Amino acid sequence: MIKIVTILGARPQFVKAAVLSRVIKKRGKVEEVIVHTGQHYDANMSALFFSEMEIPAPKYNLNINGLSHGAMTGQMLEKIEAVLLKEKPQAVVVYGDTNSTFAGAMAARKLQIKVVHVEAGLRSFNMEMPEEINRILTDRISDLLLCPTDTAIHNLKTEGFDNLPATVIKCGDIMKDGVQYYSGFSEKKSTVLQDHDLQVDTFVLATIHRQENTDDVEKLKQIFEGLSEIHRDKKVVLPLHPRTKKILEAHQLNYPVILLPPVGYFDMLELLKNCSLVITDSGGLQKEAFFNKKHCIVVREQTEWVELVDKGFAKLVGADAIKMNQVFQQFKGTNADFSMNLFGNEVGGKIYDALLEVLRFE
């Protein structure tokens, strides 16, 4: 039996990893051990979260959170190394761009354990983003780089990966599998629309949480002024991230938008499916908007998902209230063909096959 250790640190990573876990369970040739670093504390990730979403519970929970980048990554390296020495896996699988991603990859590399990076090759080309640093470093020490798009493949080729001892494969975006799988669940499990008296196509869904937006008060003001202006036209519903909430309260900033407490994944899916438009600084939510046939206004200067911008499904506005409202007016009432296949299909199966074939596990 082949053994892999999967390192996860945030709720979106668990949702993505569940896709591969279901394939592993069905095909039966791989044993998976899940490690939760605890990087992002999430009150919605209770035991009920794992059972309702059919996600295997972590074997290890390292409870590392609330620290600086250096302290967090250092503690993760130490504790993940101890797990790997105990479990002795053939490979470590990491997702995305968190500190947990990089720490898992580094701990494995130091022990000469093969590293598999899901969502490899993504670049924002903004080195002020901690996530960008994590992406680049994780890719450089990975043995198998599983890319979601042609753009990701191109990025790695440009960086010289053709000359490195690593295998690069385009497999598609694993999040697409997750959204499709859980869409039916959310309709049965979520009551968020009824709880907040929200009707189909009567509201805009917004999320703001990235450090470059929340830690700059002037940027945050601009963003919320833009949201407030849009709210006069169509109500804006914003599940409030704890970081954003803390800064708004510290500066006594109040804006006429509908603030919700953090919501679970099923609730977020229902908000996505029933809103008219998405405004976000999240990377994952840009794609989930597309999967749910919604245009997206991206409150950043760059995005890793350039395909969405190139094809007109998303637009970058930065922290600019005027530009945000202009793009909202452009998107309002606009129809688009969201059937375009930008991110592949049956990605979990392709990743499973790559694990067995490319890493030559017998």
Residue 209 annotated in active site: yes
Q: How far apart are CA 336 and CA 287, in angstroms?
A: 15
Q: Look at residues 208, 217, 211, 212 and name the one whose alpha carbon lies nearest to residue 237.
A: 208
121: left (phi over 0), alpha (psi -120 to 50) or beta: left
Rounded to 5 degrees, φ, ψ at 347 are -70, -35
Q: Which residue has the tokens 């290890």?
A: 60
Give strand pairing partners of 278: 205, 296
60: left (phi over 0), alpha (psi -120 to 50) or beta: beta
> Which parts of the chain are beta strand (E)?
2-8, 30-36, 60-61, 91-95, 114-118, 144-147, 167-170, 203-207, 235-239, 258-260, 277-280, 296-298, 314-316
Catalytic residue of the set 209, 241, 251, 295: 209
Q: Look at residues 288, 266, 245 and name the one whose alpha carbon lies nearest to residue 193.
A: 266
Q: Which residue has the tokens 């279901």?
A: 22
Dihedral over alpha carbons 161, 162, 168, 173 (to 10 degrees):
70
Q: How far apart are CA 295 and CA 300, in angstroms?
A: 15
User: Which residues form the catalytic set?
Assistant: 209
